[in-house]
Homo-oligomer: A and B are copies of this chain.
Amino acid sequence: MAARIQDVAARAGVSTATVSRVLSGVDFVSVELSERVWRAVRELGYRRNRVARRLRRPGGEMWALIVSDIENRFFTSVARGVEDVANESGITVFIGNTDNDPERLGRYLETALAEQVAGIILTPTSPDDDVSSVISAGTPLVTIDQPLSSASLPTVTTDHHIGGQLAGSFLAARGHRTIGVVAGPQPVATWNTRLDGLMSCFQSSDTRVVVERGDNKVAGGMAATAHLLDNVPSLDALFVTNNLMTIGALREIDSRGLTIPGDIDVVGYDLNSEEWTRSVPVTSVNQDPRRIGEVASRTLLDLQAGTGRVPSSDLILLEPHLQEPAAVGLH
């Protein structure tokens, strides 16, 4: 059906080797032949078969990006950043969504390896994720958000401890003493580090930090907030460690008719998506997800280029940023 390199060669009156050379532009080919090849390509509407190419010459033009929740705007922006860099380099990205399920992660890793991808960018579901198959296949892997305990891999993330400190010092400065924290699942270091950062600001004996865990989705944020509101009478403020749970917390607070910061103060996380700003009269610690995706991609490119060389530093830390509510903000 579609034209093959052979058809092009025949039409141009050259060998397939020459066609291949012209197309990849690596070896020198005489101007005359080159022109004949290009003309034949045009006339036949020839398109290189990437599958055949990848079989012969692996380590090519496809990456896998595996995220834990594709419906979360944070990851979607990471994906956007990855895609932008990948495209520049002619690399196709396929996206997998684990829903934080290690088993689904396993399946996606298998698929990625079976597809002979040139590299993988991964948001772990927990530090215990098993990536041994990737390691032994020798496929370059960059981790986002948190490192894995089993392997020493480049990790691109924002400094979670500083993030927690930003929230903590903000709340401490406002004179709050009893802080409720709505944190992500226990096994994941990310949320614990943010929590630690906050705690470092509340060490004196007359302060108190109460932690409740949630599932990083809106519902989990609502439930955890409800629990804190019900069980911690003197609660001054809330710190929530991810975007969707912050939305959940705001909903719960609203539904009780409480006001921010009058009745309770709130610092959330990653509320910098444009479409959320109307619902966000709260302070927020923000990462730059698109940038995270870009940096991870460049790291992956380096890894590919260096043919497996480990970069000088495994941990690439970006700075979080405290955003106070705009004066415009309604409530």
Residues of A within 8 A of B (CB): 1-2, 45, 47-52, 54-55, 58, 62, 70-71, 73, 76-77, 79-80, 83, 87, 92-95, 97, 107, 110-111, 113-116, 133, 136-138, 217-219, 243-244, 247, 250-251, 254-255, 274-279, 328, 330
Contacts and interface: CB of A to CB of B under 8 A. Distances in A.
Contacts of A71: 73, 76-77, 80
B93 A95 contact: yes
B2 A137 contact: yes
Given A73-B71, A276-B279, A51 B116 contact: yes
7 contacts: A50-B114, A51-B55, A71-B73, A79-B95, A87-B107, A92-B115, A254-B328
Question: Which of A1, A73, A114, A251 has the most B CB atoms < 10 Å from its CB?
Answer: A114
Contacts of A93: 94-95
B274 A51 contact: no
A87 B71 CA distance: 17
Contacts of A111: 50, 92
A73 B328 CA distance: 25
A52 B54 CA distance: 9
A57 B138 CA distance: 27
Contact of A95 (B1, B94, B250): B94
A86 to B, nearest CB: 11
Nearest to A93: B94
Contact of A79 (B70, B244, B279, B328): B70
A51 B54 contact: yes
A218 B137 contact: no
Contact of A92 (B79, B94, B279): B94
A77 B70 CA distance: 8
A62 to B, nearest CB: 8
Given A92-B94, A247-B274, A250-B278, 8 more contacts: A49-B116, A50-B116, A51-B58, A52-B55, A219-B274, A244-B275, A251-B278, A279-B279
Contacts of A79: 70, 95
A78 to B, nearest CB: 10
B70 A80 contact: yes
A328 to B, nearest CB: 5
A71 to B, nearest CB: 5
Given A247-B275, A254-B278, A115 B50 contact: yes
